[in-house]
Chain A
Amino acid sequence: MGFKEIRHTADRALLVWGKDIETLFKEAGLGMYSLLALHSEPSPMVTRVFSASGADFESLLVMFLSELLFYLEQEDLVFTTFDLQFHTGELKATMRGSTVNRSVKMIKAVTFHNLDITKLHHGFQVEIVFDV
């Protein structure tokens, strides 16, 4: 499981892989945070709960990452632990994290560009392009 940044001329892109869908989503979140080079500050842990329904896992992935961006912009929150439960097109996420120093980089949005979660022999993989 993991992620790495891949080449994009103007925006940012990640290749993410995980042994199952839950891990893939968590790694995508952590990978997105890594693009923003965030540094956490000592602060109390907080919990946020998020639920969504989508047409497929790709839609849910965009919703999930967009939710993380929203909390970063609005509350300076970065999550480090995720409890993700999938059930017939629905995602329920319980996320724990703390505040960070203000990010010096920005991701405007998570895109659907060539977004295709593929099943591999040992798990799942996806490429994600972020508008920055």
Chain B
Amino acid sequence: MKLYVYCLAAKIGALAAPVIGISGAAVDLVDVEDFSLLVSEFDGDSAPAVTRENVLAHDAVVRSVLNESTPLPFRFGTVQAEPQLRSYITTHKKALEAKLDAVRGCVEMSVKIISNNTDLDTTAEPAEQGPGVTFLKEKQRELLGSERRVQEAKQVAAWLEEQVGSFARQEEISLCPTEKLIVAAAHLIVREQVTKYRDRLASARNLRPELHFLVSGPWPPYTFSNIELEFKTRFGVS
């Protein structure tokens, strides 16, 4: 029998109220070292289905302990046999404790910014140019375009930092995750500061009417939980 793992928290006595997890399974509390893990029994060889119900259930289970303590959420779909799970926790005990410390009393807020700034380079191409050269010039233009977008993204990220950076205990910023989405920021905010953070964001948005904002939260600290973050790097030629 495998376990579906939702989150890890500092030791909790018992669940405040019964919680239902993915695929309608009941959620249990399992104690490992000085931690409590929220799990449910998971049957079968196939993966947990990524359905609306399961996704929302996963998040709801993680949230259910937010009142008592700030948990470290596991990624959706984490299934382990109990011995392997225990071994993982014991092996990484120190790192997990450090992470729990880092997120204590906080929640995650998310800011995503879209920019529709598409300035196309319309310099005329020289008349005689082979198809090979045209191809490479087009790729060059794309690269330059994406370099320009990266510049814009860096500038917007720096501006965002100026505006609300002081509220965040930690932050994770992604530049240009997609074509129009130039900044995706996650901020770890002490709970009592969330209102001030929101207010400051609201006024900041008015300063940049050309940008489109999405603010969501509060979330459990998904972005600030992973203990293997030191591997984080980007592939590709810089």
**Interaction A to B:** no
Residues of A within 8 A of B (CB): none
